[in-house]
Structure formats: structure tokens, C-alpha cells
Structure 1
Amino acid sequence: MKFSVEKVVGGGRLGSILPGGRHEASVIETPMCTLFTKVGSAPHLGYEMLKRVSNIPDVATMSLGGLAAHHESVCKFGKGLGNFTALKSNIIFTTLHDASSAVTSGKNDRNGVAVWGKGGKFKMDPSLYVKVQEAFRPDWFQALSDGDTDRDTGKKRLVKSVNNTLDFLDSTLQLLKESEILRDSSLIGAIEGGFDEEERQRSARETSARPVHGFLIEGFEKGHSGLDLFSLENFSSLLTKTLSCLPEDKPRIMETAWSPLQVVKAFQLGIDVFSSVYPYMLTQKGQALVADYTIPPKSPSANLESEKSEDSSPPHSGSVIDLNGKSNFEDFRPVLPGCDCYCCSNFSRSYIHHLLNTSELLAYVLLMIHNFHQYFHFFCCLRNSAREGTLEDLQTSLELQNSCSCHTS
């Protein structure tokens, strides 16, 4: 993997990733998001339904929780995880934990790290971890790491977290020297340290000194992505100081459930690659993304200062709507008027409200299509906005929409 920065805008980096390996002809523009998956497939969507989504990311993230225990079966299959999951055209990026779930605390030690699936705990030391990766044959893979930390973790535990992660990394690098299968795969180092500035910077400097291809920033929230990190007083400063210790020629990744507004903020701090777990978490709640990313904004919800009349209600208010609400019972508009996704082109809010209230699985299929479509479209708009010098306008528009978000339309 190679990464180059083309332009810095408001602290954010417009760049390109050359993934190398079997995708050596590909060029991926940043900022970007990955395709979030559950047990190797897009949540709620089969392969044919996924193809109805526009702007599908080149990189598919697959967490080991639900997959590691089956590595022997994938090994016997002999063609890697991409072929096994019918996502062979995607760049496969294996990570330790599912970004939509919390990490079970107290199960990591200096001998290994635990991941969790339906079969329970699966603990890996560096030797088994490399064996699992050889079975899966990913294009990118996260180094084994001890990310069981958050803002309440004490200094002693944070020091152990960083030490364990560095020891795992060194052991993995030694094992990789003997692995012909993973020769063309890119190793992503993990940056730990919780909310301790000294440990964060030590982790960043020490990991940068190893031959890794990129960096995954974790350990802020024990793998649970429901927390708005930007609401914490020292998060932005800490992240900035951590990233200042990393080289400019390698991508920085965060697997966090961030709304479009939070993505803009993180991008300006220096994050290049994001997860698409956020649209999945909205879908699970029966909610839909309806934000306006155009500059200047076109929708009334993004320009509420001009909405003076109490008698006229805008097509939608805020950046997210809740389709469980009774107000959707006879609302025959699309989820987002003007959206050209498969869901909005064929179904109404009323119909999806009905599906949610009757616990029909189709509700989540349609909402997943819509939310993925909108989130992936947002990253196209983010890159265009950064190129055209309208990043501040985009952030201001999203802040206005977020301040007016409601859970009914």
C-alpha cells in the first residue's frame, strides 16, 4: 500500500491510496469510508441487493469476531475471505472488533486478545492470529492489539495496553517474515493509549518506527461506537497531538460510528479512512439519513433561517428522521424527496413505517439501502467540498441541520 497527500484543506488531507497486491491498478481517493460488514456481508443485504447501492466503497471491512472461529473452513476453501464472501472485487480489510458492538472488558492480557462471536470467546496470540490471516488472505489487516480502554481507564492499564500492542506487533512482524501467503498484504498498526496524551504519543511514535502500512486509531471507547467523542472536552486536542506523531505518507483510519458532521470534524483533524457503521446503527433504530450535502443547501431543512412561517412545514427537519413515528402512517412521500436510491424510488415513508411496526425484515433491507446510499454519497460531496474550498460551508450547513434534528418528520 502507498499513500500520497495531494492537498491539505483545513487540516484534512485530500489524498490517494494505491492498495497494491491484487488491486495494484486501483486508486482510492481519500477521505473515504469502508463498507461495513457483519460476518462477511453487508448487514441485511444479500449480494444482489447490495448491488442496488451506488458508490459502494472499494474497501470492505470484516471483523474477526464472527469469522475467526471458522478460519479452518476458509483455509480448506483455499481462495481467501473475499471469494468466500462473494466480495472478491473488494479490497478486504480484516479488523479485530465489530465497530457496532462493545468490547468485552478484562479478557485481554500480554498473551493474547479475545474476540467475540455467536460461539463465544475466541482468543488469539500472535501465532494463531497470523494463521487466521493466512486462511483469510486479506489485502489489509489490522495488527493484533489491546484496545480494551476508554476515558475511565487508569494509567497502569493504559501502559499495559500500549506495551501489549507493541509486543504483539513485533511478534507479528517476525512471523510475517516466514509467511509467503501474506507477502502482498498490508499490515495496519494500531495506536492505543486511551485518553492519556503521553501513552498515545508513545504508541504513535513506537508504531511509526515499525514497518507498517497505515494506522488504526482505537482504544477511545472499548470498541463501542455509540459515543460522540467530540462531546468530550479533550478528545480533539488529544487526537491532533497523536496524529502529529505519525508520518504524513501513511493513511490514518478510525472505526467509529460518526455522523456526517462528525466525519467533517475528524477529517479536518487528519483522519483519512472512516467506517460506514453509522448508517447500520441508524437502520437498526428504524431511522434514516436525510441530510442535505449540497453547497449552498437546497432543502428547507438545511436552511431553516429562511423558514419563518409556522404554517409551512419543510419536507423534512434535521439530518435524521425516525420512521417508527406515527406521523409517518399516511405519509406517502419518499424517505428523502429527490433521493434516487432504490428505496426512495419505489417505496414511501408510510410503507416503511408499516414494515417496522409489523417487524418485517424488509424494513431493514430498504433502510440499509437508503442509509448506505446517502452515507456513501456524502463522502463524494466531502471530497468535492474540500477541493472546491467549501468545507467550512458544509460544516456550517450540517451543524444547522443537526441542531434541528428531530425523530419525526
Structure 2
Amino acid sequence: MKFSVEKVVGGGRLGTILPSGPHGSTALETPMCTLYTRGGSAPHLGVDMLKRVSNVPDIAAMSLGSLAPHHENIRDFGKGIGEFAALKSSLIFTTLHDASAAVTSGKNDRNGVAVWGKGGKFKMDPSLFVKVQEALRPDWFQALSDGDTDKHTAKKRLAKAVNNTLDFLDGILELTKNNKILKDASLIGAIEGGFDEEERKRSAKETAARPVHGFLIEGFEKGHSGVDLFSIDSFTKLLEKTVSFLPEDKPRIMETVWSPLQIVKAFNLGIDVFSSSYPYLLTERGQALVADYTIPSSSPAARLENKGSPNGALSTTSGFYVNLKDKCYFEDFSPVLTECDCYCCATFTRSYIHHLLNTSELLAYVLLMIHNFHQYFHFFNCLRRSAREGTLEDLQASLEAQMNSKPSSET
């Protein structure tokens, strides 16, 4: 993997990642997100329906919780998880945990790390971990790491988390030194340390001293907690400090669930690659992303008002999304978002999706997933353009104004 920086905007970086191996000609522009998957597929969408989504990322993130227990079957298939999941044209990035889910605490130790799927716990030491990666044949893979920490974790436990993660990394590096199957795969080192500045510094410096191809910063929360990390006073300063100890020529990744506004803030602190699990969580709640990325923008509330949404639709506007389960959309025959050109908005109405949600039809989640993915992927195009044109502050101000239009706290 080769990462080249085109332009630095504040603390953020416009750049290009060139992968190794068979996808070496695929240029990934940063800032970017990965395609969020569950069990190897985009949630609610088959391969054909995924083709209806515009700007789908060229790299799919797959968590080991659902895949590792079945690695022997995938190994016997012999062509890796990309082809197994009908995503042969995509790069594959294997991560430890599902970005959208909380992780059961207290199951990691110096001998290995537990991941979780439908079958329960699956614990891996470095040796089994490498066997799993050999079966999956990813383009990028996150090293085994002990990220079972948050702002309440004691200092002694934080030190153990950093030590365990570094020991796992050393074991993986030794096991993959002459590995022919993984010779083109890029190893992503994990940065741990919770909210302790000294442990973050130690983790960052020690990991950067090893031959990894990029860095995944985690350990601020135990899986998805629903907490806005930027609301924690020490988080911004700590993330900025952590990034300062990492080299400039390698990408920095965070798999946290973040709204567009939080993505802009994290990009300004130096993060390059993000998860697209946020659209999935909105979809699961029957919510549609309606944020406006144009500059200047009208808030979602203003756009809804202009469309004349009946029966008090404004009451269900919540910053960046609307809740289509609400009865106010019963007779709302406008698209989910007039400015959106996705398949959902071009073909169906809010009223129809409201009906599907309230009758528990699976099609509701298919259509919302198409729309929410489309809007989220479009946001990253706007983010790169804004950074390139020098309007990043305006974009952030616009998103903050939309955020302030909501009646309750944002996810």
C-alpha cells in the first residue's frame, strides 16, 4: 500500500491510497469511507440492489465476528472472501469487530481476543488469526488488538491493552514474514490506550516503529456506544495528540459510527478512512438521512417546510435525518429528499415507505438502505470537494446549523 498526500487542509489530508496486489490500479481518494457489510454483504441489499447505489466505495469492510467461525469453509472455497461474497471487484478490509455493535467486555487477555457473531464468542490467538486471514485473503487486515477500553478504564488495564496489542502485532508479523498467501495484503496496526495520553503515545510510537501499512485508532469506546465522542472534552485533544505521533505517509482509520458533522471534525484532526455503518443504524430505526451538503444550505427543517409536508412533519426532523415511522408521513407523497437522485427517491414516496415500515415489510429497509448509503457516499464526494476548494469551514458551519435545528441529541 502506498499513500500520497495531495494537500493538507487544517489537520486533514487530501490524498490517494494505491493498494498492493491484484487491485493495485484502484486509486482510493481520501477522505473516504469503506462499504459497511454484515456477513460479507451490504445490509439489506443483494449484489444487484447494491448496483443501484451511486459512488459505492471500492473497498468493503468485513468484521471477523461473522466470518472467522466459518474460515475453514471459505478456505476450502479457495478464492477468498471477496469472490465468495460476490464482491470480486472490491478490495476487502477485514476488521475485528462490527462497527455498529457494542462488544461484550472482559473476554480479551494476553492469549487472544474474542470476536462475536450469531454463534457467540470466537476467540483467536495470533496463530489462529493468521489462519483466518489466509482463508479470507483480504487486501487490508486489521491486526489482532485489545480494544476493550473506554473513558472509565483503569490505567493498569490500559497498559495491559497496549501490551497485549503490541505482543499480538509482533506475533502476526513473525507468522506472516514469509507468508505467500498474504504477501500482498496490507497489515493495519491498532492504536490503543483509552483516554490515557501516555498510553496512547506509547501505543502510537511502538506501532509506528513496526512495519505496518496503516493505523486503526480504537479503544475510545467498547464498540458502538451511541456516545458522541466529540462531546467528551478530552477526546479531541487526545486524538490530535495520538495522530501527531503517527507518520505522515500512512493512512489513519477509525471505525467509529459518525454523522457527517462528526466526520468533518475527525477529518480536521487527521483521520483519512471512516466506516459507513452510520447509514445502516439510521435504516434500522426507520430513519432517512436528509442532511444538506451544499454551501450555503437550507436546514432540513426549512426544506421540509418548503415542501409543505402535512400533519406536523417538522416535529420529526432531527438534525440530519427524519423518522419515517412517524404518522405525520401517512399522506406525504413527496420523495424522501427532493434533491436526491437515488433509486428510492426517484421511485417512491415518504408515505409509501411509512406504510412499509408500519407493516414490517422488508422492502422498507431495502429502500432506506439504498437512500442512506447514497446520501452518505455523496457526502464524502462533497467533503473532498470542499477541502479542495477551501470551503471546509463553511461546510462544518452548515452542518452545525442543521444539527442545531434538531429537538433532541444526535446519534
TM-score (norm 2): 0.95
Note closer, same or farther for the CA distance 1:302–1:206 as it changes in structure 2 (3 Å cut): farther
Q: Is the 8 A contact 1:99 1:225 kept in 2?
A: no
Aligned counterpart, 1:231: 231
Q: Distance in 1 between matches of 2:301 and 2:354?
A: 24
Q: Which moved more, 1:22-31 or 1:235-244?
A: 22-31
Q: Does 1:369 align with 2:361?
A: no
Shift of 1:302: 7.6
Q: How does 1:283-322 map to 2 (within 5 A)?
A: 283-297=283-297, 299=298, 301=300, 317=317, 318-322=319-323
Q: Counterpart of 1:93 in 2: which secondary structure?
A: strand
Q: Which stretch shows the higher mean deviation, 288-297 or 150-159? A: 288-297
Partner of 1:271: 271
Q: Which residue is 1:405 aligned to? A: 406
Alignment check: 8 A CA contact 1:216 1:252 kept: yes
Query: Does 2:393 align with 1:396?
Result: no
SS in 2 for 1:60: strand
Which secondary structure state, in structure 2, belongs to the residue aligned with residue 15 of structure 1? strand
> SS at the partner of 1:129?
helix
**Deviation for aligned residue 1:178:** 3.1
Instruction: Give the secondary-structure state (helix, strand or coil) at the position aligned to 2:175.
Output: helix
- 1:153-232 → structure 2 map (5 Å cutoff): 153-232=153-232
Q: Tell me if structure 2 keeps the 8 A contact 1:68–1:132.
A: yes
Distance 1:364 1:227 in 2: 24
**Structure 2: which amino acid aligns with 1:327?**
C
> For the residues of structure 1 that align with 2:229 and 2:154, how far apart are their CA atoms?
18
Residue identity in the other structure for 1:367: L
Q: Are the aligned partners of 2:35 and 2:61 in contact in 1 as well (CA < 8 Å)?
A: yes
Aligned to 1:256: 256
Shift of 1:405: 2.5
**Could you give the per-residue CA deviations for residues 262-303 of structure 1, whole angstroms, max 9, x where no partner exists?**
000000000000000000001011101101101122x45387
Residue 77 of structure 2 corresponds to 77
Aligned partner letter, 1:38: R
Q: Does residue 93 in structure 1 map to residue 93 in structure 2? A: yes
d(CA) in 1 for partners of 2:313, 2:168: 54
CA contact (8 A) 2:187 2:213 kept: yes
Quick one: distance in 1 between partners of 2:256 and 2:407? 23
Which residue number in structure 2 is paired with residue 348 of structure 1?
349
Q: Structure 1 CA distance, aligned partners of 2:302 and 2:197? A: 39
For 1:368, what is the secondary structure of its paired residue? helix
SS in structure 2 opposite 1:66?
A: helix
Moved more, 390-399 or 3-12: 3-12
- The answer on whether the counterparts of 1:69 and 1:122 sit within 8 Å (CA) in structure 2 is yes
1:9-54 per-position Cα deviation (integer Å, ceiling 9, x unaligned): 1211111100121111111110000000001000000110010000
Aligned partners of 2:112 and 2:126 also within 8 Å: yes
**Which amino acid is the alignment partner of residue 10 of structure 2?**
G
Amino acid at match of 1:96: L
In 1, Cα distance between the equivalents of 2:301 and 2:240?
29
| Unaligned residue ranges in structure 1 (runs of 5+) | none
Q: Report the Cα distance in structure 2 between the residues aligned to 1:88 and 1:302, rounded to whole angstroms.
A: 41
> Residues 302 and 398 of structure 1 are in contact (CA less than 8 Å); yes or no, is this contact kept in structure 2?
no
Q: In the alignment, residue 371 of structure 1 is paired with which amino acid?
A: N
Structure 2 distance, partners of 1:38, 1:225, is 18
1:99-138 matched pairs, under 5 angstroms: 99-138=99-138
- 1:168-226 deviation digits (Å, cap 9, x = unpaired): 00000000013110000000000000000000110000000000000000111111252
Q: Is the 8 A contact 1:291 1:302 kept in 2?
A: no
